Amino acid sequence: MKNHSSNNEIKKQISHIALIMDGNGRWASSRGLPRFKGHAQGLKTLRKLLRDLKDSKLEYLTLFTFSIDNWKRPKEETSKLMQLLRKFISNDLSELHSNNVRIRVIGSRREIPKDIVDLINGAELLTVNNTGLYLQIAFNYSGRQEIINATKKIAIASSKGEIDPNKINNTIFESNLYSAGVPDPDLIIRTGSEKRISNFLLWQLSYSEVYFEECLWPDFDKNKLDIAISDYKSRSRRFGNVLNEYR
């Protein structure tokens, strides 16, 4: 449960950042390269950012890596994206584990190739006891589907008499989300100049601050992250309340 008692703390506290890493395809196209090259460069950007965050105080980082809607893209591109996930887990898992990073992948696993599901399960199991950065990866993810899935689970439990419908509240609902146990993001950053949420963490982002970064994801770096965090710290998070300076 977040503590909203101190306005000063609300302004400065940040423990969870969510990233929509947009612009890989446009980055490649602007250079006359196939879209896959942009995704590959985006992975390099992510790898460097995670290394730069190794000694930071950030507790949670959620990445939107692949949407359920991305299956609508050409098969060649989605196949390349699957290859990149294989590469990320196979090549980077050891380093992330040694840096005490805990990995959790949220989203549906039904459409994902079995070998990738096995890699995901192995990464989560290996890092489950790590106490450093909590890296939550939204892969084959849909915010609407997450809410529907949670609703179905609660409805089934209610039909079995395990939950009193009249006692369903935020805590019960959130415990049935993919992200159960992870606090809501303080700040969401979207790169690539687009200004929308794109079906990402629809429940969890209710009171998150939003920052839109003009640069494409492959050009993002720790300096741009620090600028976004600085902007966040200049804001007043009111959570529907009215702070004294506005009364």
Q: Is the pLDDT of residue 1 over 50?
A: no
Q: pLDDT (tens digit, 9 = 90+) per residue, 184-204?
A: 999 999 999 999 999 999 999
Active-site residue, 186 included: no
- Whole-angstrom Cα distance, residue 199 to residue 180? 18
- In the CATH scheme, what is the homologous superfamily, with its name and number, of domain 7-235? Decaprenyl diphosphate synthase-like (3.40.1180.10)
| DSSP per position, 171-232 | HHHHTTSTTTTSPPPSEEEE-SS-----SSSTTTTTT-EEEE--S-GGG--HHHHHHHHHHH
Indicate yes or no: pTM above 0.75. Answer: yes
- Whole-angstrom Cα distance, residue 223 to residue 49? 10
For the CA atoms of 179, 143, 242, 211, the dihedral, rounded to the nearest 10 degrees, stands at 100
Round the average pLDDT of the chain to a whole number and report it: 92
Run of H or E including 150 = helix 143-159
Active-site residue, 22 included: yes
Q: pLDDT (tens digit, 9 = 90+) per residue, 46-101?
A: 999 999 999 899 999 999 999 999 999 999 999 989 999 999 998 999 999 999 99
Length of the chain: 247
Q: Is the pLDDT of residue 246 over 70?
A: no
Annotated active-site residue in 7, 70, 149, 199? 70
Q: Tell me the domain boundaries of the chain.
A: 7-235
Contact indicator for 183, 16 with CB cutoff of 8 Å: yes
- Whole-angstrom Cα distance, residue 104 to residue 106? 7
Token pair for 225:
């992250």
